[in-house]
Amino acid sequence: MQNNAILINAFRFILLVFLQVLLLNHINFLGYINPYVYILFILLFPLNGNKGLLIFLSFLLGFSIDVFGDSGGVHAAASVFIAYIRPWILKFSFGISYEHNNIKLYKTSLAQQFTYIVMMVFLHHIILFTLEIFNLSHILLIVKSTLFSGIFSIILLMSILILFSRKN
Amino acid sequence: MQQIIFFFIRNKNFLLFGLLFLISVYLTVQTHSYHNGKYVSSANFLSGNVFSAKSNVTGYFGLEDENKRLTQENIRLRKQLENLKSIANPSTLDSTILPSGYVFRNARIINNTYSKSKNYLTLKKGKKDSIKIDMGVISSQGIIGIVNATSENFSTVQSILNTESQINARLKESNHFGTLTWDTKNPNRVQLIDIPRLAPVTVGDTIITGGKSTIFPEGILIGTIEEFNLDGDANYYDLQIKLFNDMTSLKHVYVIENTNKEEILQLENEVEHAE
């Protein structure tokens, strides 16, 4: 990674943590629906960057959210999981050769971006809510929270990507 | 040996993932047991200061409502005071302070959650202000939770909106005891279970704390009965309680210390060991 990329990612990390814990954790749309936009860091991490580093940084990211939210390690677990599984999802969304072609996320088609985000968000949320609720008798609550929070997160993440894409 | 090293190098991402995932799950399980003590809570230096900086800004938005609530509490306390004056001799009341056994401390809430299944609040007072684990927390309108972690300047409170919370409560009218729980559905409604069938239950009755634990004094307001059903075996009532507190907009709270707690616990321990 170049110096520039390191700076951008460090800045993004801090900004997303603060955005999440100070604003997005308190939206409580319809009583309990919150978007989890901080995973944008994992989504935007250089696609051919070091995988071990990404896993470690994702742990730190999730852990910071947990410290602020008193949620033990649920965000850390969910973040580490999607960071580990990301290469396979990238392959699925952008084709087998994404690594060699040096693909940039904002240069791919909207449909490909959408597949990528939807898969990452739902995997993240299902682990997050399963661990947070930690009770199989509340499975309906887990599915409901995953679905609604997931849709909210996807809408926000797609908007952010479209707004900040540098196509021109 | 070389093969082992190669194995580690080849699978280093998986091993790293596995290790960090296990740590996270361990930290999660840790929070599910109340008495194990927590390693990670928002009562630490970093998040405590961030939250209190935020609350310094957002604290101004609800001041009018907060004032109204405090005035209402003052009116209620004044009424009680007048009642007491008419009972007791005023000259003795003025010069002596009755040893009540409870010390109240005020604190400001700097972070509050109510949309998860396990909710916590963060207070801007900690060990330095004599806040200790297992102290009760109430607002001017009723019960809020129990302190479950403290740091030098901050402390976290396990809210009654937490599936782990079990607080002793009773009907104001009839002294029948039950346990207060939460089903995660609505932040303004909790459940009172294990009220015996012979208790006279009517919608609108007031629920107060039972005073059977060393955490809350007896008679702290909780809420009113909104709905009641007999449970599966039809021996106990399940009551739906509407809280007096609006758990979604809390600013200032009182932390209660029971000065007789150690003595009570010690005595109970001795009795248990003697058996």
* B158-187 mean pLDDT: 87
End-to-end CA separation in angstroms for chain A: 24
* A96 phi/psi in degrees, rounded to 5: -65, -25
Domains and CATH numbers, chain B: 41-259 (2.40.10.340)
Residue B46 has pLDDT above 60, yes or no: yes
pLDDT for the residue numbered B38: 59
Q: Compute the nearest-CA separation of A77 from chain B (Å).
A: 5
pLDDT for the residue numbered A69: 83
* A79-108 mean pLDDT: 82
Residue of B nearest to A18 (CA): B50
Residue of A nearest to B157 (CA): A70
pLDDT for the residue numbered A1: 55
Contact residues on chain B for A56, CB-CB shorter than 8 A: 16, 20
Longest CA span, chain B: 90
Chain B positions contacting chain A at CB under 8 Å are: 12-14, 16-17, 20-21, 23-32, 38, 40-42, 44, 46-47, 50-51, 54, 111, 113-118, 120, 122, 156, 163, 184, 186-187, 248
pLDDT for the residue numbered A15: 92
pLDDT in tens, B137-151: 988 888 999 998 888
pLDDT for the residue numbered B95: 45
pLDDT in tens, B201-217: 888 888 888 877 888 88
Residue A2 has pLDDT above 80, yes or no: no
Residue A136 has pLDDT above 80, yes or no: no
pLDDT for the residue numbered B35: 53
Cα–Cα distances (Å) from B262 to A53, A167, B26, in that order, read 50, 68, 32
| Distance, CA of A62 to CA of A126 (rounded, Å) | 15
**Structure-token match 């947070």, residue found:** A132
pLDDT band per the 50, 70, 90 thresholds, residue A51: confident
B15-21: long-range pairs with CB below 8 Å, 24+: B16/A52, B16/A55, B16/A56, B17/A55, B17/A80, B17/A81, B17/A83, B17/A84, B20/A55, B20/A56, B20/A59, B20/A76, B20/A80, B21/A77, B21/A80, B21/A81, B21/A84
Considering only CB atoms, B20 lies closest to which of A28, A59, A132, namely A59
* B179-199 mean pLDDT: 87
pLDDT band per the 50, 70, 90 thresholds, residue A168: very low
Residue of A nearest to B120 (CA): A70
Going by C-alpha positions, the residue among B209, B187, B191, B112 that lies closest to residue B157 is: B112
| Distance, CA of B39 to CA of B135 (rounded, Å) | 19
Cβ–Cβ below 8 Å for A80 and B20? yes
| Complex ipTM | 0.86
Q: Compute the nearest-CA separation of B267 from chain A (Å).
A: 34
The rounded Cα B42 to chain-centroid distance in angstroms is: 16
Give Cβ neighbours of residue A82 (< 8 Å, ≥ 6 apart).
A39, A42, A58, A89, A120, A123, A124
pLDDT in tens, B71-97: 888 888 888 887 777 776 555 544 445
Among the residue ranges A40-44, A109-113, B20-24, the one predicted with the least confidence is A109-113
Average pLDDT, chain B: 83
Cβ–Cβ below 8 Å for B32 and A133? no
Residue B116 has pLDDT above 90, yes or no: no
pLDDT for the residue numbered B42: 72
Among the residue ranges A130-134, B68-72, B84-88, the one predicted with the least confidence is B84-88
- Indicate the domain borders of chain A: 3-164
Instruction: Give start and end residues of each alpha helix (H) in A70-138.
Output: 74-94, 110-133
Contact residues on chain B for A69, CB-CB shorter than 8 A: 42, 113, 116
CA dihedral of residues B213, B218, B222, B225 (deg, nearest 10): 100
Contact residues on chain B for A61, CB-CB shorter than 8 A: none
pLDDT band per the 50, 70, 90 thresholds, residue B19: very high
pLDDT for the residue numbered B88: 64
Cβ–Cβ below 8 Å for A141 and B26? no
pLDDT in tens, A149-158: 999 999 999 9
Instruction: Find residue B224's DSSP bridge partners.
Output: B206, B242
pLDDT band per the 50, 70, 90 thresholds, residue B34: low
* B116-122 mean pLDDT: 87
Among the residue ranges A153-157, B52-56, B159-163, B243-247, the one predicted with the least confidence is B52-56
